[in-house]
Amino acid sequence: MDNSAQKIRLALVEDLEIVRTGIGKMLAEIPGCEYVFEATNGQDFLDQLATKPIDVVLLDLEMPVLNGIQTLEKLKKQDAKVKVIILTMHKDLDIAFELLSRGADAYLLKESSTREMINAITTVFQDGKYSNHFMNEAVINSIATDRKVKSRMKHLDLDERDLKIIRMICDGVKGQEIADAVFTSKKNLDLIRTKLMKKFNVTTANELIRLSIINGFYIPRSNEEIALEKEDIL
């Protein structure tokens, strides 16, 4: 299909009216694009998407009802063909890399120029991999962090299963659920948990969680994110 001859159908998801109005006006004036609709939160967007097909959505992160991360997860299940540009005020490299890993096609700051937004829209629409300085920095930062985590894992003699158990403990998952997830018995899991406590030189789960966060083994998540991951597993 020749995308060059097709108008790019756009949607904007932003809860703040003043921001939505300003960006929406800019999107409506881009040559070769059609500004199909705007939404005030993720659920509003998904509801409208059912009857108003689009090609690219510019998605805010912090919104009521359904935030940007939750919306991205649901959208990828509902219509993976829609390209997603995260549009946010968050200059957080870890958040940026996490969203790119989850399927976002670009990560832009709201302070980005009109030219950069247009470049991002046209690039992702044509199935290109859009990148900018901030996105590149996020990837480099993630690689460095990953190397540090692996070094610390080696120092503590942890394997991938240990890491999975630690993260599920941090998420507040019950013992039997953890045992089922790593294909072991509850009794054996208790032995593994005891060994992990000794490796970390701690005596309580709260201490284990605290040191796991400090060492980069676990990134705190919302209850909604944990619930969404459980849905994926089920």
pLDDT at site 10? 97
Q: Is the residue at 148 inside a domain?
A: no
Q: What DSSP state is assigned to residue 4?
A: G
Q: Please report, for the domain that includes residue 197, its CATH number.
A: 1.10.10.10
Do the domain assignments include residue 214?
yes
For residues 16 and 112, state if they share a domain.
yes
Domain extent for 48: 3-138
**Is position 167 within any domain?**
yes
Total tally of structural domains belonging to the chain: 2
pLDDT at position 38 is: 97
Is 53 within 8 Å of 41 (Cβ atoms)?
no
130 and 170 assigned to the same domain: no
Same domain, 33 and 124: yes
Alpha-carbon distance of 37 to 21, in angstroms, equals: 12
Q: What is the CATH number of the domain that holds 93?
A: 3.40.50.2300
pTM comes to 0.59
Answer yes or no: do 182 and 119 share one domain: no
pLDDT in tens, 217-229: 777 665 655 665 5
> Residues 6 or more apart from 138 whose CB is under 8 A from it?
93, 94, 96, 97, 100, 107
Residue 133 sits in the same domain as residue 164: no
68 and 110 belong to one structural domain? yes
Full pLDDT tens readout for the chain, 234 residues: 445 568 999 999 999 999 999 999 999 999 999 999 999 999 999 999 999 999 999 999 989 899 998 999 899 888 778 999 999 887 777 777 777 778 888 888 888 889 989 989 999 998 766 766 555 565 555 554 555 556 666 667 788 888 889 888 888 888 999 999 999 999 999 999 999 988 888 888 888 887 777 677 777 665 655 665 555 544
Strands 83-88 and 106-109: parallel
Considering the domain architecture, whether residues 188 and 221 belong to the same structural domain is answered as yes
Q: Is 88 helix (H, G, I), strand (E, B) or coil?
A: strand
